[in-house]
C-alpha cells in the first residue's frame, strides 16, 4: 500500500495563486511568516503524519480503547505519538498569540488539519477539541481561569472536551438537564450525565478539561437558561499541577461503527467542582465559539479522509490487472477501465474542489477576524454550514467509491479502504447533522437578509467566470458555459426558497439539504474555475493538464447535477 503523501505542493499552489494568502499571513503573524515558511511547516507536518501518526491508524481501529476500573486506556503507540505531536507544538499553532499560541491563520490550520486527519482521523479529533476548548477559555473565561488552564491546553499538556449531548438532548440543546449549583466559595457543583463525549477520558495526558453546558438552579427553561462550566478531571493545585481527582466519572465507552481509537465516553458528573465560563445564561454563546471552530474542523476531517481514500484507491487501481481494458493493450491495470477512471476522477476532482473551498472559507474567517461585519464575515457565516455539510457528505461518498475501486478487496478490513468509510460516517452527524447545517443555511443565512449574501456569492462566481472566459483553452470555454448554466439554475432555486419561506416554511425545510448540496457543488465549480485560471495564467509550474482534466470532469459530472436539485427544491415537500 502506498504511503500517505501530504498535499504540500498543492497547498503551496492554492495559497500562492488561488487564495493569495500572503496578506492574511502578514496580518496574523506581523510579517514574520511567509509562504515559503508555510510550505516548510506543512512538509514537517506531512512527515510526522506519514511516519508516526498514520501507522497507528489501522492499529487504533483494531484495538480501540479499554475501560478498566473507571480508567480509559488508548491503543498501543498513541501515547508516544501524542507526545510527539504536542512537543512539536502542533496543538497551539493556530491559537492567537495572546492566548499563548503561534497565531497561524485559519488558512494554514486548515491545511494542517487535513494532513493530520488524513493520517488518522480518530487521533486528530483529540487535539482538535483541545483547540476549541482553548478558544472558549480565551474568549469567555476569567483571567484566573485563563492563567491556570490556557498554558496546559495550548501546549497540549492537557486536552479539552466539549460536553453538550445528553440522552434526551442531542440536536436540541434546549432539553439539557445537567444542573449547576453555586457553592459559598463561588465554585459550582455540577450534576448530570453527558453522553458521546469525544476523547472524554484517556491516558494521553495528566489532566482533561471538560467544557460542560448546564443549567444553573432557577435558570429559565430552554436555550436561554444554559451556562458554560469548566470542569477539570483533576483539580489544579495553586502551582498549576493536577491535584485531587474531581467527581467526574467515566461510566462507559461506546462501541462504534468507526473512529474506534477515539474514546466516546458517557461521563457522570456527581457534584463535580466547576467554574463558570463567561456570564450566567450566556453558555450557548460561549459554546458557539467552540462549535464554529469544530464545524470547520469537522469539514476538514472529511477532506482528509476523502483524500486518503482517493490516494489508496488510485495506488491500488494503478497495479491491479483485471479483464481486458477496452482500447488498451493487454495487461493494462484497472485504472484505465472507463468506469474505474470515472470513479477515480470523481474522487480526485471533488477532493480538489473541497480543498480549495475549505481554504476560501478559512480565508474569509481570517479576514473577518480582523475586520468583523464586512462582506468576508457575511460570506464566512453563509458558507460554514455549506462547508460542513457538503464536505462531510462527500467524504462518505468518496470513501464509498474508494471501496468500489478495490472491488471485493475493499470490503475486506485488511485492505484499509473500509475503515475510511466507517470513520467518515460520523462526520455528517456530529457537530450538527447535515439537516441542521441546512436549517442554518436556509433559515438564518438565506432568509434573514432576504438572499443578500447568496446574491453577493453568485456575483463572485460570475466574476471568476469572467476571468476564466479570457482564456481560449477548450476546457476553460466549456467550464464557463457549465458555470453559467449552473448559475441560472442556482439563482432560480434561491428565488424559489425565498418564496417558500413566506408561503410554506415546511417546503423550505424539505429542500434545505438539496440547497446546501447545490451550493457545495457550485462552490466546487467556482473553485475549479479559479484553479484553472491560475494554472493557465502560469502554465509552466502548474500541472495544467491535470487541473484542466479535473475541471472538465467536475463540470460534466457534478456541476451538471445542479438543475436536478433545483427541480427537487421547486417540488417542495411531497405530501
Ligand X SMILES: Cc1cc2nc3c(=O)[nH]c(=O)nc-3n(C[C@H](O)[C@H](O)[C@H](O)COP(=O)(O)OP(=O)(O)OC[C@H]3O[C@@H](n4cnc5c(N)ncnc54)[C@H](O)[C@@H]3O)c2cc1C
DSSP structure string for 508-537:
HHHTHHHHHHHHHHHHHHHHHHHHHHHHHH
Q: Judged by CB, which is closer to ligand X: 161, or 479?
A: 161
Contacting ligand X (CB under 6 A), which of 256, 282, 320, 491?
256
Contacts 24+ apart (CB under 8 A), 542-547: 542/13, 542/17, 543/13, 547/352
- Considering the rule CB under 6 A, would residue 117 count as an interface residue with ligand X? no
Q: Judged by CB, which is closer to ligand X: 269, or 526?
A: 269
Cell of 146: 485563563
Q: How far is CA 409 from the centre of its chain?
A: 29
- Considering the rule CB under 6 A, would residue 151 count as an interface residue with ligand X? no
What beta strand segments (E) does 217-293 contain? 226-232, 234-236, 242-245, 248-253, 264-277
The C-alpha atoms of residue 527 and residue 524 are separated, in whole angstroms, by 5
Nearest approach, Cβ of residue 207 and ligand X (Å): 17
Q: Judged by CB, which is closer to ligand X: 200, or 278?
A: 200
- Considering the rule CB under 6 A, would residue 196 count as an interface residue with ligand X? yes
Cell of 460: 463572485
Report whether 194 contacts 162 (CB < 8 A): no
| Sign of the CA dihedral running 108, 426, 442, 391 | positive
Q: Which of residues 260-289 bind ligand X (CB under 6 A)?
A: 264
Nearest approach, Cβ of residue 236 and ligand X (Å): 22
Stretch that binds ligand X, among 158-166, 284-292, 336-344, 412-420 (CB under 6 A): 158-166
Which residue, judged by CB position, is nearest to ligand X in the bound state? 170
- Considering the rule CB under 6 A, would residue 162 count as an interface residue with ligand X? yes
User: Which residues make Cβ contacts (< 8 Å) with residue 104, sequence separation at least 6?
Assistant: 28, 29, 33, 41, 93, 94
- Considering the rule CB under 6 A, would residue 396 count as an interface residue with ligand X? no
The C-alpha atoms of residue 527 and residue 345 are separated, in whole angstroms, by 16
Stretch that binds ligand X, among 165-173, 267-275, 523-531, 553-561 (CB under 6 A): 165-173
Nearest alpha-carbon partner for 11 in 118, 98, 90, 97:
118
The mark string for 300-339 relative to ligand X (x by CB under 6 A, - otherwise) is: ----------------------------------------
The C-alpha atoms of residue 235 and residue 565 are separated, in whole angstroms, by 53
Q: How far is CA 29 from each of CA 24, 34, 88, 463, rounded to the nearest angstrom? A: 9, 9, 19, 30
Nearest approach, Cβ of residue 513 and ligand X (Å): 9
Q: Which residues pair with 73 in a beta bridge?
A: 66
Stretch that binds ligand X, among 63-71, 163-171, 310-318, 358-366 (CB under 6 A): 163-171
The mark string for 416-445 relative to ligand X (x by CB under 6 A, - otherwise) is: ----------x--xx--x-xx--x------
Nearest alpha-carbon partner for 462 in 504, 438, 491:
491
Q: Judged by CB, which is closer to ligand X: 257, or 370?
A: 257
Contacting ligand X (CB under 6 A), which of 163, 349, 500, 518?
163
Report whether 149 contacts 211 (CB < 8 A): no
Stretch that binds ligand X, among 108-116, 164-172, 389-397, 539-547 (CB under 6 A): 164-172
Question: If you search the block for the grid coordinates 436539485, which residue do you land on?
Answer: 565
User: In the chain, how many H helices and how many E strands?
Assistant: 20, 11
Q: Judged by CB, which is closer to ligand X: 165, or 479?
A: 165
Q: Judged by CB, which is closer to ligand X: 163, or 311?
A: 163
* Annotation says 40 is catalytic: no
Question: From the candidates 431, 492, 540, 573, which is the catalytic residue?
Answer: 431
Contacting ligand X (CB under 6 A), which of 113, 165, 496, 518?
165
Report whether 433 contacts 462 (CB < 8 A): no
The C-alpha atoms of residue 276 and residue 213 are separated, in whole angstroms, by 10
Q: Judged by CB, which is closer to ligand X: 89, or 175?
A: 175
How many residues contact ligand X, by CB under 6 A?
A: 18
Nearest approach, Cβ of residue 429 and ligand X (Å): 6
Footprint of ligand X (CB under 6 A): 162-165, 170-171, 196-198, 256, 264, 426, 429-430, 433, 435-436, 439
Annotated catalytic residues are 431
Amino acid at each position: 500500500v502506498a504511503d500517505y503523501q501530504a498535499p504540500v505542493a498543492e497547498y503551496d499552489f492554492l495559497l500562492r495563486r488561488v487564495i493569495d494568502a500572503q496578506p492574511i499571513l502578514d496580518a496574523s503573524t506581523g510579517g514574520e511568516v511567509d509562504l515559503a515558511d508555510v510550505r516548510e511547516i506543512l512538509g514537517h507536518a506531512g512527515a510526522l503524519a506519514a511516519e508516526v501518526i498514520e501507522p497507528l491508524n489501522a492499529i487504533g481501529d483494531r484495538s480501540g480503547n479499554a475501560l478498566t476500573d473507571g480508567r480509559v486506556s488508548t491503543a498501543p503507540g498513541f501515547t508516544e505519538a501524542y507526545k510527539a505531536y504536542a512537543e512539536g507544538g502542533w496543538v497551539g499553532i493556530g491559537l492567537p498569540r495572546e492566548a499563548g499560541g503561534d497565531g497561524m491563520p485559519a488558512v494554514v490550520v486548515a491545511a494542517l488539519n487535513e494532513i493530520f486527519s488524513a493520517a488518522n482521523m480518530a487521533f486528530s479529533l483529540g487535539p482538535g477539541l483541545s483547540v476549541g476548548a482553548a478558544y472558549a477559555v480565551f474568549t469567555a473565561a476569567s483571567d484566573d481561569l485563563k492563567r491556570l488552564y490556557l498554558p496546559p491546553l495550548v501546549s497540549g499538556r492537557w486536552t479539552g472536551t466539549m460536553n453538550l449531548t445528553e440522552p434526551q438532548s442531542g440536536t436540541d440543546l434546549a432539553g439539557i438537564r445537567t444542573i449547576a449549583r453555586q457553592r459559598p466559595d463561588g465554585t459550582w457543583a455540577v450534576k448530570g450525565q453527558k453522553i458521546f463525549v469525544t476523547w472524554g477520558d484517556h491516558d494521553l495526558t495528566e489532566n482533561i478539561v471538560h467544557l460542560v453546558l448546564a443549567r444553573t438552579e432557577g435558570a429559565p427553561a430552554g436555550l436561554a437558561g444554559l451556562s458554560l462550566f469548566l470542569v477539570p478531571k483533576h483539580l489544579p493545585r495553586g502551582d498549576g499541577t493536577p491535584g485531587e481527582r474531581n467527581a467526574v466519572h467515566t461510566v462507559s465507552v461506546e462501541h462504534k461503527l468507526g473512529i474506534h481509537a477515539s474514546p466516546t465516553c458517557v461521563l457522570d458528573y456527581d457534584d463535580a467542582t466547576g467554574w463558570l465560563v463567561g456570564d450566567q445564561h450566556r453558555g450557548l454563546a460561549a459554546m458557539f465559539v467552540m462549535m464554529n471552530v469544530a464545524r470547520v474542523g469537522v469539514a476538514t476531517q472529511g477532506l482528509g479522509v476523502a483524500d486518503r481514500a482517493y490516494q489508496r484507491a488510485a495506488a491500488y487501481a494503478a497495479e491491479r490487472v483485471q479483464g481486458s481494458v477496452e482500447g488498451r493493450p493487454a495487461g493494462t491495470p484497472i485504472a484505465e477501465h472507463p468506469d474505474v477512471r470515472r470513479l477515480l476522477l470523481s474522487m480526485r476532482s471533488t477532493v480538489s474542489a473541497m480543498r480549495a473551498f475549505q481554504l476560501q472559507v478559512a480565508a474569509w474567517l481570517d479576514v473577518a477576524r480582523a475586520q468583523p461585519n464586512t462582506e468576508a464575515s457575511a460570506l464566512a457565516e453563509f458558507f460554514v454550514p455549506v462547508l460542513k455539510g457538503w464536505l462531510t457528505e462527500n467524504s462518505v461518498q468518496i470513501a464509498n467509491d474508494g471501496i468500489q475501486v478495490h472491488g471485493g478487496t475493499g470490503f475486506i478490513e485488511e485492505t484499509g479502504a473500509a475503515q475510511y468509510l466507517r470513520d467518515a460516517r460520523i462526520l455528517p452527524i456530529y457537530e450538527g447533522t447535515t439537516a441542521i447545517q441546512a436549517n442554518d443555511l436556509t433559515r438564518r443565512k438565506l432568509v434573514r437578509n432576504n438572499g443578500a449574501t447568496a446574491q453577493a456569492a453568485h456575483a463572485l462566481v460570475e466574476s471568476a467566470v469572467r476571468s476564466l472566459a479570457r482564456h481560449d483553452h477548450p476546457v476553460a470555454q466549456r467550464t464557463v458555459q457549465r458555470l453559467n448554466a449552473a448559475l441560472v439554475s442556482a439563482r432560480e432555486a434561491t428565488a424559489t426558497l425565498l418564496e417558500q419561506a413566506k408561503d410554506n416554511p415546511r417546503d423550505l425545510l424539505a429542500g434545505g439539504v438539496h440547497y446546501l448540496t447545490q451550493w457545495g457543488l457550485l462552490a466546487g465549480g467556482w473553485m475549479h474555475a479559479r484553479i484553472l485560471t491560475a494554472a493557465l495564467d502560469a502554465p509552466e509550474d502548474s500541472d495544467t493538464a491535470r487541473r484542466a482534466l479535473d475541471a472538465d470532469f467536475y463540470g460534466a459530472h457534478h456541476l451538471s447535477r445542479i438543475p436536478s436539485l433545483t427541480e427537487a427544491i421547486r417540488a417542495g415537500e411531497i405530501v
